[in-house]
A and B are shown apart, each in its own frame.
Chain A
Amino acid sequence: MSQLALELQEEFKKRFPFAEVYEHNKRRLYITIPKDKLMPVAEFLYKEKGLRLSIATGIDTRDGFEIIYHFSHDATGTYFNIKIFVSKEDPKVDSLTRIFQASNWIEREIYELLGIEFIGHPNLKPLLTSDDWPKDQYPLTRDYE
């Protein structure tokens, strides 16, 4: 891992000691954080360190929803994958649209495919599915038939 990426990783660990960091290889870090810490982490990565939100992946697992925010550190080619867990009983997360525009469509897509609500999103309506798609059916959930 390049020096710059190492420094960034160290600073991240110091700033957010609760984060569990797993290094898959030198350019792919998977970092698990509690969901209420998403906002400060995203602000740190985007505003202070200039990382770019590449995309977010929503996954329906046995234990609940998982959202991975893939932040790209282009100077070192490193991906900081920030993982949060969202319970199925209360599928709500803070929207990142307050920080950057990039998350607008990304959150709309996760909302329509998994049913996770993003609090504070300016225009949370379906992006890809057709207008007559049933309201309470989310095609990427495990119980969808």
Chain B
Amino acid sequence: MSKRIVPIGPYHPLQEEPEFFKLIVEGETVVDIEINIGYNHRGHEFLSPSLTYDQIPFLVERICGICSNSHPLAFVLAVEDMAHIKVPERALYIRTIVHELERIHSHLLWIGLAGHFIGYNTIWMWAWRYREPVLDLFEMITGNRNHYAMNKVGGVRRNIYHDQISHIEKVLDLVESKVSMLTKAVLDDPVLHARLKGIGILSKEAAISYGVVGPTARASGVAIDVRKDDPHCAYDKVEWDIVVEEAGDIFAKAKVRLLECFESIKIIRQCLKNLPDTPIEIRIEELPAGEGIGRTEAPRGEVFHYIRGNGSHHPVRHKVRAPSYMNLPSNEVTVKGHSIADAALCLAAIDPCYCCTERVAVFEDGKLKYTWNDLLLFSWKKTEQIRARLRK
């Protein structure tokens, strides 16, 4: 059978940034994939040395629109590591609370879209419905639903006040009961089992070789989590568990993300209860020359920032590594051998963001063959077929 190319992108609907996947298919089966990135290369590493340490958190916040707390947090951790700065306790707790709220909203976003891709729009509606109260919490705490601007070198920029705590707890109760319902619905559904199990498997060996991070690694049995391995903020002062699954398929990835929401809720509750009564920031007079590394666990995995300063107000080098940078190449393994109907889901399983324009088109002999919506319909059709088969 002859090989054909199905291009997905360059303005890819599944990715945080526009990306281009060239699927090489034989009939329905994907035999190879070529990944091209760089359509949204904004030169942060070039820009950053021209800004001061106070300005950079606002720059790196805009790297990602979904996990916009992770990059500034990793950056301030790097600067604090370079200068051996000790941050007040309350600031550490507030950082933890905001970071975990972000994880909940990000995981709910993913589970909703994964539902949408396989034609389970109910999951989409429910997950996004209860993501909203979390975003409202952000607005209350930080003033923004996104791009929270909470982190600064030496502390946080806004406090959490006593009268806000009971409201946050109330919303957490609501979100917990609804996510619990959603989790049961997803984990018990025979159609979802048939549709997601054994699809897009990333073996433990491949996960280690590709150096993947976050839920993508934890679903393949690699028990790494920066929050446990390299405790920062208040993560070593609260009780919580790492969620690890062995299967490595899409079902395992979904399960890890759903269960992590409960761990996040657990962490936030403990932080709110034990919020220490200290200032929320310290004043930094000057920063010495040196090197620093900051890392934190974003919803998608480890975010890494490296800073080299020369004693001035600007860094001389600022290296940024987002988790998807490590996770994306692993699609080379997961998508091969699957049908086009599964490809969209496999590529989405590492949880790239979805904020870009949906624009996919497949051309044959110069004529439009199918669009992104058609790919979605293929995926929905497969779910329908499985559902019908299971009903019999």
A interface residue numbers (CB < 8 A to B) = 24-25, 27-28, 30, 50, 52-55, 57, 59, 68, 70, 72, 74-79, 81, 100-102, 104-105, 113, 126-130, 139-140
Contact = CB atoms under 8 A, between A and B. Distances in A.
A72 B293 CA distance: 11
Among B46, B211, B230, the most chain A Cβ lie within 10 Å of the Cβ of B211
Given A52-B211, A54-B211, A101-B210, A28 B229 contact: no
Interface of B: 37-38, 41, 43, 45-46, 81, 84, 206, 208-211, 224, 226, 229-231, 290-293, 295, 302, 304, 306, 308, 316-317, 319, 321, 325-326, 329
Contacts, number: 83
A25 B84 contact: yes
Contact of B209 (A74, A101, A113): A101
A26 to B, nearest CB: 11
B43 A101 contact: no
B293 A81 contact: yes
Nearest to A144: B46
B211 A24 contact: no
A106 to B, nearest CB: 8
B306 A77 contact: no
Which 6 residue pairs across A and B have the least CB separation, nearest first?
A102-B211, A77-B230, A128-B38, A55-B321, A57-B319, A77-B229
B93 to A, nearest CB: 20
Nearest to B330: A101
Nearest to A77: B230
A127 B379 CA distance: 30
B329 A105 contact: yes
Contacts of A54: 211, 295, 302, 304, 321, 326
Nearest to B308: A59
A52 B230 CA distance: 14
B-side interface mostly: mixed
B383 to A, nearest CB: 32
B326 A24 contact: no
Among A100, A101, A127, A128, the most chain B Cβ lie within 10 Å of the Cβ of A101
A144 to B, nearest CB: 9
Nearest to B224: A74
B306 A57 contact: yes
15 contacts: A54-B211, A54-B295, A54-B302, A55-B321, A57-B317, A72-B302, A75-B229, A79-B293, A100-B208, A101-B209, A128-B37, A130-B38, A130-B41, A139-B43, A140-B46
Contacts of A130: 38, 41
A65 to B, nearest CB: 12
Given A77-B229, A102-B209, A127-B37, A68 B329 contact: no
Given A68-B306, A126-B38, A105 B81 contact: no
Contacts of A68: 306
Nearest to A112: B38
A25 B85 CA distance: 12
A69 to B, nearest CB: 11
Contacts of A30: 291
A102 B231 CA distance: 24
